[in-house]
């Protein structure tokens, strides 16, 4: 029996508008093939929302989000904000607010390498082969949400790194539960040798480890974890870490997958799920039709699995992506210029190939 779901699509800025269209088309195709009823609405957020309403997250979009079963998101950002840090209203404020308002405290980022992309990474294939990591990044605490100050003379600034025990515990539990269904290994990343917030983090994880004695728990400082991630990625299974550290580590881990254009993510709490590629708005290539749509398509696969419990359909999407790569089709970011049998194509052509393999 098919399922009925309401999906809010927020393309956002830059290439977000180009790639999200293909994530939505994949969901529509799955709905048709498996007799599901997916109803789509669209909302605005980020730079486009500021231009239209003065607000990076309009009330109308937030209300639609609250009523949705899941959200497919693109990206936010614009060069004008990068070049002028004094601007008070910024696209990122919309993203932080929707995470907070929807209680999206856990960001899941699977780093799974397709064998066909071993040569796309700058890391040696023999180091990469077999890497399969699932990151759990805490999403609503840390310096991103702590009190921010700037002195009157504008010469001193501070951001409060703050965590409460319950914030650490709830994401740690999700990470441990996931580890139980994988290789039963969890690495908690912190900086407990110098940061009090990290000491609380480690203390809570150590307490929970007793409840999950069937999972091997390892603690690692962020600087060492950053090194080990590129030195021996296969050693990691589930990685649990705070907001700031997780932001940095998962972007670093994009080199394992070959490109940010291959990495999907899910932001979840206890209700609506929020699914997005980890790449940004990439305004330098926006409108050129060359962005990689696979991360958005794989984000749709995550939605099918995590929010809707449609594991068969999710795997079908992943297999369609894998088949497309095996056929030699590539966007520019994952093409190996030394391989003659790679056919480099644009966003729409790549998305269309995945749809062909999905049918």
Residue found under tokens 């805490």: 138
Query: DSSP assignment of 97-112, as one string?
Result: HHHHHTT--EEEEEEE
Rounded to the nearest 5°, which phi and psi values hold at 110? -75, 130
DSSP assignment string, 45-100: -THHHHHHHS-SS-HHHHHHHHT-SEEEEEE---HHHHH-TT-SS-HHHHHHHHHH
Choosing from 4, 82, 115, 223, which is the catalytic residue? 223
Strands 148-150 and 329-330: unpaired
Following DSSP, what letter does each residue of 194-225 receive, concatenated?
T-HHHHHHHHHHHHHHTTTTTSEEEEEEHHHH
Q: Active-site residue among 97, 159, 185, 251?
A: 251
Q: Two tokens at 245?
A: 């550290």
Catalytic, out of 163, 191, 212, 353: 191
Cβ distance 115 to 322 under 8 Å?
no
Rg (CA), the chain: 20
Q: Is position 247 annotated as part of the catalytic site?
A: yes
Q: Are 125 and 262 in contact (CB under 8 A)?
A: no
Angle ∠(253,8,139) on CA atoms, nearest 5: 40
* Catalytic (active site) residue 223: yes
For residue 115, indicate whether it is catalytic.
Answer: no
Place of tokens 């060069």: 79
The answer to whether 251 is a known catalytic residue is: yes
| Known catalytic membership, residue 59 | no
The closest alpha carbon to 259, from 275, 240, 237, 278, belongs to 278
Query: Tokens 């002028």 identify what position?
Result: 84
Determine the Cα–Cα distance for residues 28 and 341; give it in Å rounded to an integer: 31
- The active-site residue, picked from 144, 163, 176, 275, is 144
CA distance 273 to 65: 10
Active site residues: 144, 191, 223, 247, 251
């Amino acid at each position: 029996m098919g399922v009925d779901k309401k999906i809010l699509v927020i393309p956002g800025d830059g290439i977000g508008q180009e790639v999200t269209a293909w994530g939505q088309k994949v969901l529509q195709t799955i709905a048709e093939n498996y007799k599901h009823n997916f109803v789509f609405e669209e909302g605005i957020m980020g730079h486009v929302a500021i231009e239209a309403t003065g607000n990076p997250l309009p009330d109308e979009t937030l209300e639609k989000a609250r009523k949705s079963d899941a959200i497919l998101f693109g990206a936010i950002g614009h060069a004008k904000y990068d070049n002028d840090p004094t601007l008070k209203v910024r696209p990122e404020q919309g993203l932080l607010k929707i995470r907070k308002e929807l209680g999206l405290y856990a960001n899941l980022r699977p780093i799974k390498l397709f064998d066909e992309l071993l040569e796309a990474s700058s890391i040696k294939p023999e180091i990469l082969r077999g890497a399969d990591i699932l990151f759990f990044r805490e999403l609503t605490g840390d310096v991103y949400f702590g009190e921010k100050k700037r002195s009157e003379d504008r010469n001193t600034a501070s951001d409060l790194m703050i965590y409460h025990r319950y914030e650490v515990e709830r994401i740690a539990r999700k990470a441990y539960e996931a580890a139980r269904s994988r290789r039963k290994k969890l690495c908690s990343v912190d900086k407990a040798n110098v940061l009090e917030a990290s000491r609380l983090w480690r203390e809570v994880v150590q307490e929970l480890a007793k409840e999950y004695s069937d999972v091997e728990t390892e603690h690692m400082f962020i600087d060492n974890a950053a090194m080990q991630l590129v030195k021996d990625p296969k050693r990691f299974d589930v990685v649990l870490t705070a907001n700031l550290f997780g932001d940095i580590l998962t972007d670093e881990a994009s080199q394992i997958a070959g490109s940010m254009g291959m990495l999907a993510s899910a932001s979840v709490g206890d209700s609506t799920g929020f699914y997005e590629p980890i790449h940004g708005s990439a305004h330098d290539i926006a409108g050129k039709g060359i962005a990689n749509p696979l991360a958005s398509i794989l984000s749709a696969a995550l939605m099918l699995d995590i929010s809707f419990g449609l594991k068969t359909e999710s795997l079908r999407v992943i297999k369609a992506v894998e088949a497309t790569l095996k056929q030699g089709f590539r966007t520019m970011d994952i093409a190996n210029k030394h391989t003659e049998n790679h056919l480099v194509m644009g966003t729409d052509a790549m998305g269309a190939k995945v749809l062909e393999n999905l049918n």
